[in-house]
Amino acid sequence: MEINYEDINTNNLIIDIRPKIDYLNFHIKNSVNIPRVLLLNNPSEYLNKYETYYLLCDKGTISKKTANILNSLGYNCYSIIGGLESINKYY
């Protein structure tokens, strides 16, 4: 599932799935960094099946694939369309 940044519910968690060094160099306000590998290796450590999450990467491609995997496991994840490249205008 995908969603435009303008349409997200700001009460839900934005998870930046990029490597930690990329997150430290730049990230959007109120996001948390959980690198993709960690998230996919043990999703139950980070996610609750009753919550909604928005996944973010550089261009939206990796977050879309990650969201699809997590959704197939019963989580409720959206990929932010276009990733950071599409929302840089807000920051």
Reported as a single tens digit per residue, the pLDDT across 56-83 is: 999 999 999 999 999 999 999 999 999 9
Torsion of CA 78, 82, 88, 91, to 10 degrees: -10
Domain boundaries, the chain: 2-79
Q: Which of the two residues, 16 and 11, has the higher pLDDT score?
A: 16
User: Does residue 36 register a pLDDT over 90?
Assistant: yes
Strands (E), 26-81: 31-33, 52-56, 76-80
Contact 15, 42 (CB under 8 A): no
Q: Which residues are 15's β-sheet partners?
A: 32, 55
Q: Which fold has domain 2-79?
A: Oxidized Rhodanese; domain 1 (3.40.250)
